[in-house]
Chain A
Amino acid sequence: MIMQPRNVSAIFKKELRSYFASPVGYVFIIFYLLVSNGFFFFIEDFFRQGQATMRGYFGTLPWIFLFFVPAITMRLWAEEKKVGTLEILLTMPLREGEVVLGKFLAAFAFLAITLAFTLPLPVSIGLIGRPDMGVIVGSYCGALFLGAAYLAIGLLISSLTESQVVAFIVSVAVIFLLLAIGAAPVYLNSLGPIVHVFDYLSLLSHFNNITRGVIDSRDVVYYLSVVVLFLYLNVKNIESRKWR
């Protein structure tokens, strides 16, 4: 697939700018920090545990992402379809792949910016204790991989509807399913070896591997495949208006 970096970057900049063009982007970041830290300090009870670790933080992250990441992607196609700006965008000399990649990278950058605002947390833990920084760095990488997979799924779903609300709800449902098949192996055990397939397909099990502090190429390949697959389907869906 041929792409012009200039076009990808134009879309990337436009989308990233629009996150911060209204208060929505800022509200999102603040709300995310409140919720994720709230879970860490009050539900996981960081101080009472007396351990310099962010394990609790990253343990809840897939579930917090479940509701936050679809909010990042729900707008990206649905709004363009609803307002009609898609028609101007797609009649400009751009390839569908360039638009999809530009939008994905902008959403990814926004997620990375949000995560960057959580960095005071590991820094503080480093000041008060001696955490295993390798595990923390690995977990941040894992969060980015996991987030990228959520974003690619959410982006595809946004391209299937004109309604942001529908995009959000369906994305949460689909991602939940892909998490749950890895989270509930206890009563799936009766199904036999298929459990391993579910476990492999689950977004969660690979994240758990990474947060143990070992970045295994198999887990990386898994997330990259998910991202590539969903972005590819996204391109095909945008192109489908011209199929004949």
Chain B
Amino acid sequence: MIEVEGLTKRYDRTLAVDDISFHIRKGEVVGLLGPNGAGKTTTMKILTCYISATAGRASINGFDTFDDSLKVREQIGYLPESCPLYQDSDVVTYLNFCAEVRGIAPSKRKSAVERVVSDCDLGKVTRKVIGHLSKGYRQRVGMAQALLHDPAVLVLDEPTSGLDPNQIRDILRLIHSLGREKTVIHSTHILSEIEATSDRVLIINNGRIVAQGTPRELMAQSSGTTVFLTVRGENCTAQIASAPFTASAEKIADAADGFVRVAVRGAAERDVSVDLYRLAVEKGWLVSELRAESASLEEVFAQLTKG
């Protein structure tokens, strides 16, 4: 559906996007993740034909973004970062204008506008002037504008920025439900959003893709599971450290009543909580905490994008 090959964008001296390639299948929801200034917005601007790449190519549904720009734009719904809208227009007038430009036949405009008004829950504000709406409503008008022509591909640049937690949840729910029939590419620097919505993640840093895969795959790439164990027993830390399943064991704190808290990493990145339990039973130790913690997407992200 979306094919990107060797995409590069240079602004004067800075290289915003550096030889990026990726493919997105029909119906996939892909999260573009990266720190600010990583090249997410530039990539999206190229995909939506707002600017052109310095080198490389991008195509959507087989149409090249440079050579067949009109065809590409017909199939895309785009919500730019910061959701720019005409402040002096009311919601319905604005959506009608978009419908007209999108080439929706006059007889179908009303129903198209009504559909997005209900999908984006704008019923209460249809006659309000956009400039007077709250940020949450404006973001929904932006979404409505992107969905009006029922596009095959949605490009959403930080659709949740500046929203409160409830509004974020609503937008994410909307993106998730759209993903059932549309190809969605959305960017964010908030990791939990990716976990909640996306089939696949592209992590971008300094204009390059540094990792891609499902959220689960990415978490697996990082350094495995740490088991936290709070235990009381004779010389237990040393015995855990010398057990065959242990890669490293480190006492992190002395707890009350002679307990110690130990962080254990298994050999071969394995989750060793069961082995630790057996060892404790065998030695007759008292255990007050036994908890396995996998690396979060946050840690993966931090490892990949630092420096």
Task: Among B80, B98, B101, point to the contact of A7 (Cβ < 8 A).
Answer: B101
Q: What is the CB-to-nearest-CB distance from B76 to chain A, in angstroms, rounded to a whole number?
A: 7
Q: What is the CB-to-nearest-CB distance from A22 to chain B, in angstroms, rounded to a whole number?
A: 5
Task: Among B52, B73, B88, point to the contact of A91 (Cβ < 8 A).
Answer: B73
Which residues of A have CB within 8 Å of B89?
14, 17-18, 21
> CB distance A6 to B93 under 8 Å?
no
Q: What is the CB-to-nearest-CB distance from A177 to chain B, in angstroms, rounded to a whole number?
A: 31
Q: Is the interface of B mostly helix, strand, loop or mixed?
A: loop
- Asked if B128 lies at the interface with its beta carbon under 8 angstroms from chain A, I say no
> CB distance A90 to B50 under 8 Å?
yes
- Asked if A95 lies at the interface with its beta carbon under 8 angstroms from chain B, I say yes
Which residues of B have CB within 8 Å of A17?
89, 93
> CB distance B84 to A18 under 8 Å?
no
Enumerate 27 A-B pairs (CB-CB under 8 Å) in ascending A order: A6-B100, A11-B101, A13-B97, A14-B86, A17-B93, A18-B86, A18-B88, A21-B88, A21-B89, A83-B86, A84-B80, A87-B45, A87-B80, A87-B84, A88-B145, A91-B50, A92-B98, A92-B102, A93-B70, A93-B74, A94-B101, A95-B70, A241-B51, A242-B52, A242-B66, A243-B52, A244-B53
Q: What is the CB-to-nearest-CB distance from B73 to chain A, in angstroms, rounded to a whole number?
A: 4
A93-B73, A95-B70 are known contacts. Are A88 and B53 too (CB-CB below 8 A)? Answer: no
A88-B145, A91-B73 are known contacts. Are A22 and B88 too (CB-CB below 8 A)? Answer: yes
Interface 0/1 of A16-29, CB less than 8 Å to B: 01100110000000
> CB distance A91 to B49 under 8 Å?
yes
Which residues of B have CB within 8 Å of A87?
45, 50, 78, 80, 84
- Asked if B85 lies at the interface with its beta carbon under 8 angstroms from chain A, I say yes
Closest A residue to B72 by beta carbon equals A93
Please give the number of chain B residues whose Cβ is less than 8 angstroms from any Cβ of chain A in the complex: 30
> CB distance A93 to B88 under 8 Å?
no
> CB distance A241 to B50 under 8 Å?
yes
- Asked if B103 lies at the interface with its beta carbon under 8 angstroms from chain A, I say yes
- Asked if B205 lies at the interface with its beta carbon under 8 angstroms from chain A, I say no
- Asked if A10 lies at the interface with its beta carbon under 8 angstroms from chain B, I say yes
Task: Among A11, A85, A95, A244, point to the contact of B86 (Cβ < 8 A).
Answer: A85
- Asked if B87 lies at the interface with its beta carbon under 8 angstroms from chain A, I say yes
Bound CA–CA A54/B301 (angstroms) = 74
Q: How large is the interface on A (under 10, 10 to 19, 20 to 34, 35 or more residues)?
A: 20 to 34
Closest B residue to A98 by beta carbon equals B101
A83-B87, A85-B84 are known contacts. Are A93 and B93 too (CB-CB below 8 A)? Answer: no
> CB distance B88 to A88 under 8 Å?
no
Which residues of B have CB within 8 Å of A91?
48-50, 73, 76, 78, 80
Bound CA–CA A244/B52 (angstroms) = 7
Interface 0/1 of B39-59, CB less than 8 Å to A: 000000100111111100000
Bound CA–CA A6/B49 (angstroms) = 21
- Asked if B214 lies at the interface with its beta carbon under 8 angstroms from chain A, I say no
> CB distance A93 to B102 under 8 Å?
yes
Task: Among A10, A86, A241, A242, point to the contact of B100 (Cβ < 8 A).
Answer: A10
> CB distance A92 to B54 under 8 Å?
no
**Residue from A7, A13, A241, A244 whose CB has the most chain B CB atoms within 10 Å:** A244
Bound CA–CA A53/B19 (angstroms) = 70
Q: What is the CB-to-nearest-CB distance from B54 to chain A, in angstroms, rounded to a whole number?
A: 6
- Asked if B126 lies at the interface with its beta carbon under 8 angstroms from chain A, I say no
Interface 0/1 of B86-109, CB less than 8 Å to A: 111100010001101111000000
> CB distance A14 to B82 under 8 Å?
no
Bound CA–CA A34/B276 (angstroms) = 90
Which residues of A have CB within 8 Å of B50?
87, 90-91, 241
Which residues of A have CB within 8 Å of B87?
83
> CB distance A10 to B101 under 8 Å?
yes
Bound CA–CA A204/B89 (angstroms) = 38
Q: What is the CB-to-nearest-CB distance from B30 to chain A, in angstroms, rounded to a whole number?
A: 19
Q: What is the CB-to-nearest-CB distance from A6 to chain B, in angstroms, rounded to a whole number?
A: 7
**Residue from A17, A85, A242, A243 whose CB has the most chain B CB atoms within 10 Å:** A242
